Structure 1
Amino acid sequence: MQDLDRTPLIERLGRWAEKYPDDRAYTFVDYAVDVEGVSTEMTWGELDRKARSVAATIRRTIEPGERVAILAPQNLDYVVGLLGAMYARVIGVPLFSPDLPGHAERLLAVARDSGPTGVLTTGEALPHVAAFFDQHPGLRPRDFIMVDEVEDGLEWTPEPIDPDDVAYLQYTSGSTRTPAGVIVTHGNLAVNAEQCWGAFDGVPRVSSAATWLPLFHDMGLVTAVGLPLAHASPIHLMDPVAFIMRPARWLELLSQMEDGFTCSPNFAYEYLTAQVTPGEKAKLDLSGVRVFMNGAEPIRPGTLEGFLEAFRECGLRPEVQVPAYGLAEATVYVASSSRYELPTMTTFDREKLSAGEAVPVPAGSERAATHVGCGTPYAQEVLIVDPRTRVRNRDGLVGEIWIHGPNVAAGYWGRPEATAETFGARLAEPVEGVPDGPWLRTGDLGVMHEGELYVTGRIKDLIIVDGRNHYPQDIEYTTYTADEAIRQEYVAAFAVDAGETEGLVIVAERNRRVPIRRLDTEAMERSVRAAVKKGHDLRVHDFVVIEPGTLPRTTSAKIARAACRQAYLDGTLRVTVVPTD
């Protein structure tokens, strides 16, 4: 396994400030001030000076090793705050301003779990932050620091930071459980940034990025902080809301670049394909984009094909679509395809894959299921292991994805038992060239086929009916392609106790483009039942149509199947009622 530099990235900030003080480091494009965007730039010298001032301010009241929550809007102040926390040797907790809609429960859970003694925020967000802690006085931190009001130029002499010191707590999205704080060390972040750079084959100070991803997410943080710091490369940031309001803005920023890279979950590429207008496309030039990484959720073959078809005339080349796999417990990046090769798509027999074996079949086969390959790992070890026997599977057999490498995090904050179970796995039989342990158990199912990793699902999400395994994402895809009245990608499939066996329940959002008075929920149900029976030989126990925007999802936009199942059992889903008058 290749050795990578574990030097804390915050040390590199000081280096870049000294060597390239006037080089542009960050540009934040604010579309809330002007729909055309107002750019604010910050050089490496300015960034380092501001981060040191924040560090000096933090250490007036907070000691090294204590937690500091970042409750700020997505802008340059957020980046300055996080880097200031690193300089100060406190543990950052990247979060969001409390006025972010729909995330109050998550914020409360994380605040209780992490117990921050300080908060980094801005003057604009302070009223929302103060109101949050007024509602929860038992969680009130010792100090509130407004990053945008910190005196510039305060003296701060960097203190020694060990690669094994904790840099921040990355809270998981909670798709299958209560959010847990992944302990990411300075060495983890440095190595994972290098792994991404190696996979991207980036050019120091030349390759540049553009991202709208939330900075409190693992992919967003590593993209926006780790990658620029690794090799002094510039980046454009925008707010996620600006992307949602007009997604072409993301591509417009990338069109300015000659060696650009970016990454996003699958849904964003679907969104671009559906929303960007011909007029907007006419102004785009994507020929300079080297990497459109796609990860963080199941990657649909149709998404890759649709995105390429939609933007081919804008200069998009097929090989720059880079499918990837990662997770917070490995900092973020684990494996990806090459930017120089076309993405691999392989059609497997669905029934045999559900039974645990990847058997290729022709694309037109009755039980065909096409999966997108996620390439190979970079500077880390990945094995497919039988989760019950802890023995490595041969290629072609489905098992749990296990990871070993310097990017694997130190564990979960305050959860020693979960840490030992997830991060301390050991192989029952030796495998040549790799250690017996410790290994990270990802909880993800996958298979190695012709040297490439394919992710097939989550162990906890598997639907088992009459002794047969079914992947929920396959059933969900069958569902939302069965009827145009179902909103694409907004379906959850899960199992409930149906007496003598498990029963399949499907919850689907209605498509708001179909007028509700024209909605025929009985016809929708018949279409779905027939499609699921034909495609999966399964009987649907219950089919529920709910209102748009109400399907439980995580903060990273993944379907929260466990939460949806609980809402179904509790009777709290917002079921669609078609007017009869």
Structure 2
Amino acid sequence: MTSSSSISTAVSATTATAPVHAQDVDMDAVLRRRATATPDEVAMRFLRNGEDDVVDLTYRQLDQRAARLAHQLRQQLTPGARVLLVLEPGLNYVTALFAIFKAGATAVPSFPPVGTRAVSRFASICNDCGAELVIAEGSLRASEERLNAALSAQGKVPAWLFAGADFFEALDAQPEVAQGAPNADPEFPALLQYTSGSTGDPKGVILSAANLISNSRVLDIRMGTAEKHVGFTWLPPYHDMGLMGALLLSVYSGFTLVMMTPAHFVQRPLRWLKGLSKYRVTSSVGPNFALDLCVDTITDEEVDGLDLSSLKLLFCGAEPVRQATLDRFAEKFGPAGFSSTAYVPCYGLAEATLFISGKADCNAVPHRILLDQASLAAGVIAPATLDAPATAIISCGTVATDHVMMIVDPETREPMPEGTVGEIWFKGASVARGYLNKPEVSDEVFRAHLARDPQDGPYLRTGDLGFMMDGELYITGRIKDVIIFAGRNLYPQDIEAVAQACHPAIRTNGVAAFAVTRDDKEHLVVVAEILRSAKLNAEDLENVEDAIAAAITLSHGVAPHTVHLAPVSTIPLTTSGKVRRSACRDAFNAGALALAKPRPTPAAAAEADTSTLLPQE
């Protein structure tokens, strides 16, 4: 621990409270141990319709199911083969994932290839990793020829294993099989986690067996052992927070995980909170947008039927956590027993397997600080005053156990004093080995050293900006996203929050702010999505543009060069719901962003209807 006046050479944490199992070389070893020690305990509970169609899988069932599939995979795969996993979320997905681990192959989770954008991403990932096999839903069999055409255009076509419900039913009917020899190499590449692409093309992060164990361990420590947990997730298992922060963690820690699909959550967010109530869930995960969605769609009458008093840990990550969102959620669901002490704002990256930092005290409300906006723009941390614009930043807690975090000047590579904004560097057992097929980028990102001490490292350069205060991390933005205007650093998430709050017609999580260059000058562009239900005419849309420009000018002293109003689903998002600002900027520069269309006034509509009855020239 360092004082506010000293140089922050390192921030680290250690503990001896977590049980260490020498046999847990990889996640398969963990599952085997669970299947032996507690064979009949429920490992996974899947809500097939998001509500009352429930199916359970015990540790023994999961272990044997995965072993049968692994036996089949070993017969058709070369050692160390990469297997693309594109099954829909559910128990079959979990089975296939552990089967890949057991078969001595490398799992490559990916979004199912449905839709033009998803097929393109799927083909890119498949080609980059050189997949030998794709495990897919049986429903994709009809699309095999089309998907193979997309794959052959980029590289080699892999084999397919179409594993629908009938496939797994047949698997369950097979006799038990002898387990193969367990993996003895902690450095074996267990998983390739392709980044969501918020700042560029997806890159395959090489995660070893030891990385997965390390991340599970630090999360297990952070959760505490005071009580037996019950988890709940609707996050996609091909995203790092859903996979490492829920699915693998639950097996490592030995608690039941209740699961439903992302689609069932988005269709009706109430299902998530009803699940928390019904199964007395103690731990769950949810990005910022999910909390907003619950507040916006769940009625007061529906809140009356909830009991959220059992929820002790609500991990909030995957995108910037906003104080306004936490306040709205707590106010809405406080009457149902929800406590703000449950919030666990956290920070992580796929390159660090997942978890880097998070709230340490499970019984405390997350810390937040109110900063002077102008000082923050200059990279200086100063308390807010009553007569100047302020920015609220929520603490992302303390660094993961047995890991080290530093705030570093990204240009000089010198450590920064506490209370000064710099790049977040991180080192420890959870840091991945690098990016697949990208040695130069891997050296730059994963093997950084301090200028004054080349022996101190290697560190992971996160590309994120933040500062330390009283031993806790506060995130301010990404280096590539920062907008430099008249010598000031403007953080896009702050601008987006102001725009979001200025008019009710703007969709939650539907704003992107970025800079474009015109005539050698940087200009601020704000893209905002308009709700379908808003039904605005041309004059209304102009009023929204004016409201956005006025709010940003007042709060940041900068007038947007362009305010672009767009229909819903225009702004590119990652799989976790983060705004892809660089992709949005590229689309804007290419003139490819759709414009929100005004709804005609009643008089104009009547005139338009009449005109269609007239003869046309």
TM-score under structure 1 normalisation? Answer: 0.95
- Corresponding residue for residue 311 of structure 1: 333
SS at match of 1:504: strand
Work out whether residues 7 and 163 of structure 1, in 8 Å CA contact, stay in contact via their aligned partners in 2.
Answer: yes
Q: Which moved more, 1:515-524 or 1:379-388?
A: 515-524
Pick closer, same or farther for the CA change 1:184–1:501 going to 2, 3 Å.
Answer: same
- Corresponding residue for residue 281 of structure 1: 303
Counterpart selection for 1:17 from 35, 42, 45: 35
One-letter identity of the residue aligned with 2:70: A
1:146 corresponds to 2:169: no
- Corresponding residue for residue 330 of structure 1: 352
Aligned residue pairs, count: 573
Question: Per-residue deviation at 1:348?
Answer: 0.5
For 2:513 and 2:356, the matched residues in 1 are separated by 27
Question: Per-residue deviation at 1:533?
Answer: 1.6
- Corresponding residue for residue 452 of structure 1: 472
Work out whether residues 61 and 143 of structure 1, in 8 Å CA contact, stay in contact via their aligned partners in 2.
Answer: no
Pick closer, same or farther for the CA change 1:274–1:18 going to 2, 3 Å.
Answer: same
Work out whether residues 126 and 151 of structure 2, in 8 Å CA contact, stay in contact via their aligned partners in 1.
Answer: no
Question: Per-residue deviation at 1:130?
Answer: 5.4
For 1:493 and 1:326, the matched residues in 2 are separated by 22
Counterpart selection for 1:565 from 582, 585, 589: 585
Work out whether residues 112 and 118 of structure 2, in 8 Å CA contact, stay in contact via their aligned partners in 1.
Answer: no
Work out whether residues 481 and 488 of structure 1, in 8 Å CA contact, stay in contact via their aligned partners in 2.
Answer: no
One-letter identity of the residue aligned with 1:28: F
For 1:474 and 1:134, the matched residues in 2 are separated by 44
For 1:422 and 1:534, the matched residues in 2 are separated by 38
- Corresponding residue for residue 575 of structure 1: 595
Work out whether residues 350 and 368 of structure 1, in 8 Å CA contact, stay in contact via their aligned partners in 2.
Answer: yes
Question: Per-residue deviation at 1:101?
Answer: 7.5
* Identity, % of aligned positions: 36
- Corresponding residue for residue 493 of structure 2: 473
**What are the within-5 Å matches in structure 2 for residues 61-140 of structure 1?**
61-99=76-114, 102-128=117-143, 131-137=146-152, 138-140=155-157
Question: Per-residue deviation at 1:259?
Answer: 5.7
- Corresponding residue for residue 355 of structure 1: 378
Counterpart selection for 1:30 from 48, 55, 62: 48
Question: Per-residue deviation at 1:57?
Answer: 0.9
Question: Per-residue deviation at 1:104?
Answer: 2.6
- Corresponding residue for residue 56 of structure 1: 71
For 2:503 and 2:76, the matched residues in 1 are separated by 59
Pick closer, same or farther for the CA change 1:244–1:129 going to 2, 3 Å.
Answer: farther
- Corresponding residue for residue 432 of structure 2: 409
Work out whether residues 140 and 162 of structure 2, in 8 Å CA contact, stay in contact via their aligned partners in 1.
Answer: no
Work out whether residues 136 and 160 of structure 2, in 8 Å CA contact, stay in contact via their aligned partners in 1.
Answer: no
Work out whether residues 110 and 238 of structure 2, in 8 Å CA contact, stay in contact via their aligned partners in 1.
Answer: yes
Counterpart selection for 2:553 from 533, 546, 553: 533
- Corresponding residue for residue 483 of structure 2: 463
TM-score under structure 2 normalisation? Answer: 0.89
- Corresponding residue for residue 203 of structure 2: 180
Work out whether residues 257 and 289 of structure 1, in 8 Å CA contact, stay in contact via their aligned partners in 2.
Answer: no
- Corresponding residue for residue 269 of structure 1: 291
Work out whether residues 72 and 122 of structure 1, in 8 Å CA contact, stay in contact via their aligned partners in 2.
Answer: yes
Pick closer, same or farther for the CA change 1:234–1:100 going to 2, 3 Å.
Answer: farther
Question: Per-residue deviation at 1:109?
Answer: 1.8
- Corresponding residue for residue 59 of structure 2: 44
Question: Per-residue deviation at 1:159?
Answer: 3.1
Q: Which moved more, 1:366-375 or 1:101-110?
A: 101-110
Question: Per-residue deviation at 1:239?
Answer: 0.4
For 1:56 and 1:354, the matched residues in 2 are separated by 57
For 2:238 and 2:51, the matched residues in 1 are separated by 25
Unpaired stretches in structure 1, ≥5 consecutive residues: none
For 2:138 and 2:553, the matched residues in 1 are separated by 56
Counterpart selection for 1:397 from 420, 435, 456: 420
**What are the within-5 Å matches in structure 2 for residues 176-575 of structure 1?**
176-202=199-225, 206-258=228-280, 260-337=282-359, 338-362=361-385, 364-379=386-401, 380-430=403-453, 436-517=456-537, 520-575=540-595
| CA-to-aligned-CA distance 1:22-68 (integer Å, 9 cap, x gap) | 1111111011xxx7430111111110001111111111111221110
For 2:332 and 2:30, the matched residues in 1 are separated by 39
Work out whether residues 58 and 145 of structure 1, in 8 Å CA contact, stay in contact via their aligned partners in 2.
Answer: no
For 2:388 and 2:510, the matched residues in 1 are separated by 25
Work out whether residues 82 and 131 of structure 2, in 8 Å CA contact, stay in contact via their aligned partners in 1.
Answer: yes
Pick closer, same or farther for the CA change 1:135–1:180 going to 2, 3 Å.
Answer: closer
| CA-to-aligned-CA distance 1:298-324 (integer Å, 9 cap, x gap) | 111011111111111111112111111
Structure with the greater alpha carbon radius of gyration: 2
SS at match of 1:42: strand
For 1:129 and 1:342, the matched residues in 2 are separated by 51
One-letter identity of the residue aligned with 2:354: V
For 2:324 and 2:262, the matched residues in 1 are separated by 24
Pick closer, same or farther for the CA change 1:154–1:109 going to 2, 3 Å.
Answer: same
For 1:258 and 1:384, the matched residues in 2 are separated by 39
Work out whether residues 25 and 183 of structure 2, in 8 Å CA contact, stay in contact via their aligned partners in 1.
Answer: no
Q: Which moved more, 1:242-251 or 1:210-219?
A: 242-251
SS at match of 1:243: helix
For 2:159 and 2:280, the matched residues in 1 are separated by 46
| CA-to-aligned-CA distance 1:233-287 (integer Å, 9 cap, x gap) | 1111100000011111111221134461011211111111111222322221111
Structure with greater contact order relative to length (CA < 8 Å, sep ≥ 6):
2
SS at match of 1:16: helix
For 1:100 and 1:75, the matched residues in 2 are separated by 21
Work out whether residues 27 and 101 of structure 2, in 8 Å CA contact, stay in contact via their aligned partners in 1.
Answer: no
| CA-to-aligned-CA distance 1:507-551 (integer Å, 9 cap, x gap) | 111122321337522222222222222111112111111111211
One-letter identity of the residue aligned with 2:495: I
For 2:473 and 2:70, the matched residues in 1 are separated by 42
